Amino acid sequence: MMHENSICFSNINQPESWKIENYMASGGYLQWKKILQGQPGDKARQKIVEIIKTSGLRGRGGAGFPTGLKWSFMPKTTEQKYLVCNSDESEPGTCHDREILKLNPHAVIEGMAIAGFAMDATVGYNYVRGEFIKDCYPIVEFALQEAYTHNLLGKNILGSGVNFDLYNFLGAGAYICGEETGLLESLEGKQGKPRFKPPFPAKFGVYGMPTTVNNTQTLASVPKIIEQGTEWYKSMGTDKSPGTNIFSVTGHVNKPGNYELPLGIPFADLLERAGGMLDNKKLKAVIPGGLSTKVLPGDVIADCTMDYESLASAGSALGTGAVVVIAEGTCMVELLKRSSRFYYVENCGQCTPCREGTGWLYRLLQKITQGKGQESDLTLLVDVANRIEGNTICAFGDAAAWPVQSFIEHYYSEFEYMINNHGKSIAA
Amino acid sequence: MSEPKITITIDDQEYKVNSGQMLIEATDQLGIHIPRFCYHEKLSIAANCRMCLVEVENSTNALPACATEVSEGMVVKTTSESAELAQQATMEFLLINHPLDCPICDQGGECELQDLAYSHGRNESRFEVKKRTLPDDNLGPLISTDMTRCILCTRCVRFGTEIAGLPELGTIGRGESSTISTFVEKTVDHELSGNMIDICPVGALNNKPYRYTDRTWELDQIESVSPHDCVGSNMFLHVKGDKIKRIVPKANPEINEVWISDRDRFAFDGIYSDDRLTVPMLRKNGVLEEATWEEAIDAFSKVLITLQNKKSKNGVAALISSSTALNEQYLYAYLMRSLGFNNIDHRIRQIDFTGDSLDPIFPNFDIKPHQIENMKSILIIGSDLRKETPLIAHWVKKAADQGASVNFINQEYSEYYFPIDNFILSGQEALAENLALVLKASNDDAVNKLPSHIEDVLNALPTPSLSHYQIAKSLANHEQSFLLSGLLCHSHSEYALIRSYLNLLSYVSNSSFGELTHGANATGAYLTGCIPHRKAFGESHELGLNALEMCTKNHQLIVLYGIEPEDCLYQEKLNQSIVGSQTTVQFSPFITPFMKENADIMFPLKTPYESKGAFINASGMIQDFNLQLDLAKDNPSNQELLLQIIEGSKLPMPSLDNLKEKIKKFIDETKNTHNRLLEIPEKVLKTTKNYSSVSSHLYDVDSITRRSRPLQQTKDALSQFSEDQ
C-alpha cells in the first residue's frame, strides 16, 4: 500500500483542518509540548537536531540540502539567532506550500517552534509570498493568533523558560525573494537582491545575525518526523531520498494537483495518480522540478523514479517537485520563449549576466518565433546561456540558463524547423 | 599590527599575503591586475559586476576576486581559459546595452569600460536587437548624467551611503529596467558629491562644467593643493595650454584620502571670471586708468617711501589674505615691516583680539587630518564643519562610523550624516559658557586638576547638565580624544575666552586639540609675521593695529593684498575705511565696481591656481603648488611683483633661499614644545561682548569661489542667496 498524505497533508481531508482544535485533535502540538515539558536544555536541542539528521530529511525548497546538517551549522553562541520559513513559493509550477499554509498552517508553526528551539533561535519569521495575500495570508495570520492564544508561542512558553516569537511577513511579489538571501534582504526592508555568499546566513543572516532559512514543507514535516520517529520516516522513500514529497503535477494531465507521496515512486505511477495524459495524448516531455530544472524528454523520464538521485542522473533535478507534464503537440520553442520571459522579467538586475543576458535570451527566442531567426541564433542562445551559468551571485543565473540549454539540446530540430520555416512550428 | 602571512598561489607563483583580505586586495598589492568595475578600495564590496571572476582551484564556478577571501594554500588563476571566458562573458554582457558612444563621451580615454573592452571585448557585437536607453536625471550644476552608459556597478550609490553618509542616489527598478536615480527628482547636493564623477567607471556621471570641452588625452596633469580651506587637499589640475580644464583628486592618505570637496573641484572656474584684472591700474586725475607695470610700481613705491619718512607710520594699514602663498606672505610682511609699518594682519574674519598675547606661535592642530579617524571621542565646538572643511568632516564621520563618540557645542544645528552623541545647541552668547561647563564637569574627577583660581571661575558657573557631564566623561574615558574648534569660534566675539577654555579642557581631559583657520595658509601668515603682534618666526615686535582696528580707522594708505572687502567679516567697516583713507592700493586677481571707484593703484595678482608657492595646512604640513600660467603676456609673477616693489622702495633685497626649509624646521621645533596656557587672563574674561551672528557659507569663502559659476548654481549657494535677501 502506497503511503499517501502521510506527513504535511496528513490531516487535510478533515473539515476545517486549519483550525488549532482540529490540528490538536489529531495529535498536533503534542511534540512541541513534550519538548517544553521535558528538560528544554542544550541536550534536548542536540537530540532534535540528531533526529532530523538521522531522518535524512532534505530541504524541499529545491536544492535538497540535508536539513539536520543545515541546522547544525548554526553557531552555539548566545547571540540572537533567527529562523526564517521560506513561504515565498514562486517557482513556476509549484503550489504545494500554498496548500500547506492554507490547510495545515499549524504544522508549519509547530515545525518552526521546534526548529527554533533546536537552534536556539528565539525569533522566527514566516516570509509568505506576496500573491498569497488573499487566500493564504489571512489563514496563516489566524493560525498564528490561535497559537499565541493557546500560549504555544511567545515568552516563557507554558512556563518552560523557552522563548519563541513568530511573525508572518508578506512579500511584495518578486520571484527573486524566494532566493534565501534575497528573502533576507527583503525581510529587512531592502530591495530583494541576493547577497554574495559566503558569508552564509548561518553566520550572517537577518540583521547580520545567525539565521537558518528552511522551506515551508521542510518545516511542516518536522513535527511528524519527531512524532513517528526516524525509522518510520525512512521506511518511505529511498535511501538517499527518504520520506515523502508533495508533487505539484501540472500540464497536460487529467487530474492536475498536489500529491504527497513517498519519494522514489516511478514517474509512471505519479502520472497515473494525476489521471494520466490529457486526451490520451502521448507524453512529450517533463520539467520535473519546477521551471528552473532541465527538461527531460518523455522517454527519458519514463524510466525515472521521482527522487533526487534518479532525476540527477537523468540530467535534471527534483527541484521543488513541481512536475510539468508536456504532451505531444506542444511547441517547445514557444514554451522556452515563455519560460525565458519569466527570467527576463524576474531577475533582480543586480549582477551583470542576468540583467543583460536574460533579456538577450528572450529577445533571441522572440526573434525565432517571429520567423526572423537564423541558424546561428541557436549557437548564440546556448553560448549566452553558458555565459550566464555559474557567473552570477545567486543560482538565478543557472536557473535562467538551464531551460535554454536543455530545450535546445533535446529539441534542436524543432528550433531548426522554425528557423527554416519562418516561424512555423513543427508541432502545429 | 602585522597579520599572519599565508601562502597562496597566483598564476603558478607562490606569494605570502595577509590573511583576512580579499583576493583582489592581495593582487592589487602584488601588482597583479584583475579587471573590475564595481570594486573600489574605499567602498564596501558589491560583487555585482562580475568582471573580476577568476579561477580558484576546487571551485566549480569562477569566483569574484573582490569577494573571495584569501586562504592558506589557495590556488588562483587569473588568466586561465575559464577565468578569461568568465571575464569575457561579463564584458560582452556589459557592452550589449552600452551605447558605445566613446567618440562623443567625456570619459573616453580614461574609461575603465573602454580600457577593458580592448582587452576583454569582442571585435564585433553579437547583439542585434535594439539597445536599452534611459532618460537622464538632472543632478544639479556639477554632475552630468548619461544614464544609458551606466553599467550599474553601484559605486555612486555606495559612495552616497558610505562616504557621504547621504544616500542621494539609489537603484530603482528590477532586472533590465534597473536604473540609478534620485527616485524623486532632486539635485545631488552633498559637498563631496563630485567624487562620484571620479568613481564612476564609465561616462554615466561626468563633470558637468567640463562636459564636451576637451579630450582627456590632450590635458596635462599638474599636482596642486586646494587654496580654499585649511585642510590642503591634494589635487591634480588638468590643463590644456594656459587654461585649467578641470580638477581631480590626488590621493593623500594623510589629508584627503582619495577625495576632494566640490569646492576644491569646481571653484577654479572663478579665475575665468569676466572681472579678472590683467593690467595694473592707476588713478590719474581722479580716473582709474590702465597703466604700465613700471608706472604702477613706481607710484606705489613713492607712496611707501613718502610715508616711511613721515613720523606717523601708523597711518599705513596692510591687510593680506590668509590664502596667500608662503613666499608672498613673507615678502609682504618684509616690505611692510622694513618700512616700519606695523599694522599688518590677515585675520579679517576675527573680531576678538584680546587673546593675541596668548596666541601660540601658529594656530594649533596637534594631529594630522587622517589621525582624526582614530579618535574615540571628539568634541567639536563652534563649527559648521561640513561647510567649513568638508574633508575634516569626512574624517570625523569615519571616526563616528567606527564608534567614536562625537559631540557638538554649536550655535546652530546643521545636519550631519553620522551618529552624534550630544549636540548642545547654544546661542552665540552661551557658547563659551557651555564649553566652560564641560570643563567644569571634566575638572570634577580629572587627574590633571586645574589651578585653584581657575576653579574659582568655574565655581561661579551654574551646574553642568547631563550632556556636559556625558561629554566630559567621554573625553576623559578615551585616551584618543580630540577637541576641534571651528571657524565660527574664530569669528566669535569671545574667541579668546573659548580658546582659553579649550586649552584648559585639553589639559584636563588630556585631549589633542585642533583649531580650524580661515583660508589655506593662516599658519603661514602667522609664521611669516602677517600679524600685528609678531614678526616672522614668532619674534615679538612692537604691537600694530589688528584687522578690526584697521578697518575702523581711516589711513594715509590702506593696502589690500589678495582680499576683497567681501572677504571681510566687517565688510561695511572696511569699505568705509577704504573710502576714508587717502590712498588705497589693492593687489587682486579681480576688479569690482567698488574698488574701481575707490582704489588708487591696482596690481593684478595671479591666483594660487596660476602661480608657484606653498601653503601650510592647519596641521603644519607644508605643501608646494607650482603651475605658472601666463595670465597675460609678460605679467610678472606675484613674487616678482613684490620684489620689484621692495626694490622700488629702496629696501635691501630679502633672501627667499631655503625659506620653506627654514619654516619647516621651525614648525618641527616649536610644534611639540607648545605648552597649554593654563590661564584665563583678566582681560579675556572681561571682554565686551558684542555678539553678531556669523554663519559659514560653503561657496562664499574667497574671491575665486564667489565667482565660480557652477558652485554659485548649487543648492547651497542659492539657498545662501535667498537667506541674504
User: Domain of A367: which CATH number?
Assistant: 1.20.1440.230
Q: Provide the 8-state DSSP code for A288.
A: B
Same-domain pairing of A78 and A133: yes
3-state secondary structure of B439: helix
Residue of B nearest to A362 (CA): B129
User: Which residues, in sequence order, are bridge partners of residue B433?
Assistant: none
pLDDT > 60? residue A144: yes
Distance CA B605, CA B708 (A): 17
B366-406 pLDDT, tens digit per residue, is: 999 999 999 999 999 999 999 999 999 999 999 999 999 99
What are the start and end residues of each CATH 3.40.228.10 domain in chain B? 369-516
pLDDT > 80? residue B311: no
Calculate what percentage of chain A has a pLDDT beyond 70: 99
Distance CA B207, CA B140 (A): 11
Using the 3D structure, point to which of A299, A327, A355 is the last residue of a domain: A327
pLDDT of residue B35: 97
B48 interaction partners in chain A (CB closer than 8 Å): 350-352, 393
Residue of A nearest to B93 (CA): A356
Give me the phi and psi of B77, to 5 degrees please.
-125, 115
pLDDT > 80? residue A383: yes
pLDDT > 60? residue B724: no
B544-597 pLDDT, tens digit per residue, is: 999 999 999 999 999 999 999 999 999 999 999 999 999 999 999 999 999 999
CB B491 within 8 A of CB B350: yes
Same-domain pairing of A194 and A266: no
A194 interaction partners in chain B (CB closer than 8 Å): none
Residues 317..376 of A with a Cβ closer than 8 Å to B: which?
Answer: 344-360, 363, 367
Mean pLDDT along residues B652-672: 90
Residue of B nearest to A345 (CA): B175
Where does the pLDDT of residue B534 fall: very low under 50, low under 70, confident under 90, or very high at 90 and above? very high
Same-domain pairing of A70 and A201: yes
Using the 3D structure, point to which of A196, A215, A234 is the last residue of a domain: A234
For residue A5, being part of any structural domain is answered with no
Interface membership of A104 toward B (CB under 8 Å): no
- CB-CB under 8 Å, B127 with A357: no
A342 interaction partners in chain B (CB closer than 8 Å): none
Interface membership of A392 toward B (CB under 8 Å): yes
B89 interaction partners in chain A (CB closer than 8 Å): 353, 387-388, 391
pLDDT of residue A1: 42
pLDDT > 50? residue A378: yes
Same-domain pairing of A150 and A217: yes
Could you identify the residue written with the cell 530603482? B172
Distance CA A138, CA A145 (A): 11
Mutate to test the interface with A, among B128, B130, B158, B171 (most CBs of A within 10 A): B128
The Cα-based distances of B439 to B470, B475, B500, B542 in angstroms read 12, 10, 11, 35
B61 interaction partners in chain A (CB closer than 8 Å): 390-391
In this structure, which topology does domain B281-354+520-671 adopt according to CATH? Answer: Rossmann fold (3.40.50)
pLDDT of residue B722: 65
CB B239 within 8 A of CB B219: yes
Mutate to test the interface with B, among A179, A185, A191, A351 (most CBs of B within 10 A): A351
Distance CA B21, CA B71 (A): 9
Sheet holding A165-170, edge to edge: A165-170, A123-128, A82-87, A211-215
pLDDT of residue B693: 65
CA A182, distance to chain mean position in Å, is 15
Distance CA B502, CA A45 (A): 58
Where does the pLDDT of residue B310 fall: very low under 50, low under 70, confident under 90, or very high at 90 and above? confident
For residue A8, being part of any structural domain is answered with no
C-alpha neighbours within 13 Å on the C-beta side of residue B353: 18
pLDDT > 80? residue B633: no
ipTM of predicted assembly, 2 dp: 0.94
For residue A30, being part of any structural domain is answered with yes
3-state secondary structure of B43: coil
Dihedral angle computed from the Cα positions of residues A147, A152, A154 and A160, in that order, rounded to the nearest 10 degrees: 180
Same-domain pairing of A34 and A120: yes
Minimum mean pLDDT range among B107-121, B310-324, B598-612: B310-324
Largest Cα–Cα separation, chain B: 91
Grid cell, residue A86, equals 521560506
Using the 3D structure, point to which of A234, A262, A295 is the last residue of a domain: A234
B35 interaction partners in chain A (CB closer than 8 Å): none
Mean pLDDT along residues B146-157: 96
Mean pLDDT along residues B206-232: 95
Of A344, A355, A391, the CB nearest to B89: A391
Same-domain pairing of A177 and A264: no
CB A9 within 8 A of CB A99: yes
CATH architecture of B5-97: Roll (3.10)
Domains in chain A: how many in total?
3
Buried b (16+ CB within 10 A) or exposed e, B170-189: bbeebbbebbbbbeeeebbb
Mutate to test the interface with B, among A356, A372, A392 (most CBs of B within 10 A): A356
Same-domain pairing of A253 and A227: no
C-alpha neighbours within 13 Å on the C-beta side of residue A74: 30
Same-domain pairing of A304 and A399: no
A346 interaction partners in chain B (CB closer than 8 Å): 174-175
For residue A226, being part of any structural domain is answered with yes
Mean pLDDT along residues B113-139: 93
* Domain B369-516: CATH superfamily, name plus number: Dimethylsulfoxide Reductase, domain 2 (3.40.228.10)
Position B555, amino acid = H
A353 interaction partners in chain B (CB closer than 8 Å): 50, 89-90, 93
pLDDT of residue B688: 62
- CB-CB under 8 Å, A352 with B90: yes
- CB-CB under 8 Å, B53 with A358: no
pLDDT of residue B145: 96
pLDDT > 90? residue B357: no
Task: List CB contacts of A228: < 8 A, sequence separation 6 or more.
Answer: none
pTM for this model (two decimals):
0.94
Instruction: Provide the domain limits for residue A178.
Output: 20-234
Position B468, amino acid = H
Of A352, A367, A393, the CB nearest to B94: A352
Mutate to test the interface with B, among A185, A200, A346, A350 (most CBs of B within 10 A): A350
User: Which residues, in sequence order, are bridge partners of residue A249?
Assistant: A257, A323
pLDDT > 60? residue B674: no
pLDDT of residue B3: 67
Count of Cβ atoms closer than 10 Å to residue B579 Cβ: 12
Mean pLDDT along residues B307-312: 79
pLDDT of residue B412: 84
Same-domain pairing of A377 and A413: yes
Same-domain pairing of A309 and A398: no
Least Cα distance to A57 among A266, A257, A308 occurs for A308
User: Which is it for strands A322-327 and A244-251: parallel, antiparallel or unpaired?
Assistant: parallel
pLDDT of residue B723: 60
Where does the pLDDT of residue B672 fall: very low under 50, low under 70, confident under 90, or very high at 90 and above? low
Calculate what percentage of chain A has a pLDDT beyond 90: 97
Interface membership of B364 toward A (CB under 8 Å): no
Distance CA B7, CA A419 (A): 54
B424-449 pLDDT, tens digit per residue, is: 998 888 999 999 999 999 988 787 78
pLDDT > 70? residue B330: yes
Positive/negative CA dihedral, B490, B321, B716, B266: negative
A388 interaction partners in chain B (CB closer than 8 Å): 89
**Secondary-structure percent of chain B, ordered helix, strand, coil, rounded to 5:** 35, 20, 45
Exposed (0-12), middle (13-18) or buried (19+): which is B521, by Cβ within 10 Å?
buried
CB B428 within 8 A of CB B691: yes
Nearest chain A Cα distance for residue B67, angstroms:
8
Average pLDDT value over all residues in chain B? 93
Minimum mean pLDDT range among A340-349, B42-51, B298-307, B714-723: B714-723
Mean pLDDT along residues A174-189: 96
Same-domain pairing of A150 and A62: yes
Interface membership of A203 toward B (CB under 8 Å): no
Positive/negative CA dihedral, B241, B243, B247, B252: positive
Same-domain pairing of A52 and A121: yes
